[in-house]
């Protein structure tokens, strides 16, 4: 049973560029959440997708956007990258009926220079 997978593993971008991160949920899961984990801190909730729509959003600017596809996979897009966007981006999946119980992928390490 495949767990949550994310790609790429690492990414280096320049300030002002745009980036897309990808996530495939655990088999059977239909809900995907994204979190940002800055170095030395706990993860911060970005947003959650279910039925291809954004259902919940954390305190992140509109530069952060996402998408969920019919097969439940998801993308996180960040425009106009800042140095402060450097972080580990974690994807978590769950059943909608148990959306509080989230299983995390290995993350994508984004470095903005």
Partner 1 sequence: AQSVTQLDSQVPVFEEAPVELRCNYSSSVSVYLFWYVQYPNQGLQLLLKYLSGSTLVKGINGFEAEFNKSQTSFHLRKPSVHISDTAEYFCAVTSNDYKLSFGAGTTVTVRA
Q: Alpha-carbon torsion 3, 97, 31, 38, what sign?
A: negative
Residue closer to partner 1 by CB (options 50, 65) is 50
For the bound state, the minimum distance from the C-beta of residue 16 to partner 1, rounded and expressed in Å, comes to 27
Asked if residues 85 and 76 have their Cβ atoms less than 8 Å apart, the reply is no
Beta partners for 21?
Answer: 76
Backbone angles phi, psi at 63, to 5 degrees: -65, -20
Tell me which residues in 3-22 interact with partner 1 (CB under 8 A): 4, 6
For the chain, the farthest-separated pair of C-alpha atoms sits apart, in whole angstroms, at: 40
The first and second tokens of residue 62, run together, are 């509109």
For the bound state, the minimum distance from the C-beta of residue 100 to partner 1, rounded and expressed in Å, comes to 5
Residue 55 CB neighbours (<10 A): 14
For the bound state, the minimum distance from the C-beta of residue 108 to partner 1, rounded and expressed in Å, comes to 10
Tell me which residues in 43-102 interact with partner 1 (CB under 8 A): 43-45, 48, 56, 58, 90, 92, 94, 99-102
1 touching partner 1, by CB under 8 A:
no
Contact residues: partner 1, CB under 8 A: 4, 6, 31, 33, 35, 40-45, 48, 56, 58, 90, 92, 94, 99-107
């Amino acid at each position: 049973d495949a767990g949550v997978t994310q790609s790429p593993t690492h990414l280096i971008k320049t300030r002002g560029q745009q980036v897309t991160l990808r996530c495939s949920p655990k088999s059977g899961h239909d809900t995907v959440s994204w979190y940002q984990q800055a170095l030395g801190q706990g993860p911060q909730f970005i947003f959650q997708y279910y039925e291809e729509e954004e259902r919940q959003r954390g305190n992140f600017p509109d530069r952060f956007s996402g998408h969920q596809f019919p097969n439940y996979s998801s993308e996180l897009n960040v425009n106009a990258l800042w140095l402060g966007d450097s972080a580990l981006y974690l994807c978590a999946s769950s059943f909608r009926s148990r959306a509080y119980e989230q299983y995390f992928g290995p993350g994508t390490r984004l470095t903005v220079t």
